[in-house]
Amino acid sequence: QRYKKLQPLDALDDEKDYKTLVHTLPIEMVSTIFKTKFSDEGRCKKGPAGLREEQARVYADVFGKNAITPPKRDNIWLKLVRQTFLGIFNILLWSCVLAEVLLIIVFSGRNSGAEK
Instruction: Tell me the per-residue pLDDT of 58-99, one tens digit each, with 9 for 90 and over.
Output: 888 887 887 777 888 889 999 988 888 888 888 899 999 999
Q: Where are the beta strands (DSSP E) in 1-116?
A: none
- What pLDDT is attached to residue 108? 82
Residue 51: partners with Cβ closer than 8 Å, 6 or more residues away: 34, 36, 59
Average pLDDT, the chain: 75
pTM above 0.85, yes or no: no
- What pLDDT is attached to residue 90? 87
- What pLDDT is attached to residue 96? 94
- Which residue type does 32 have? T
Does an H or E element contain 21, and which? Answer: helix 18-21
- Which residue type does 27 have? I
- What pLDDT is attached to residue 18? 46
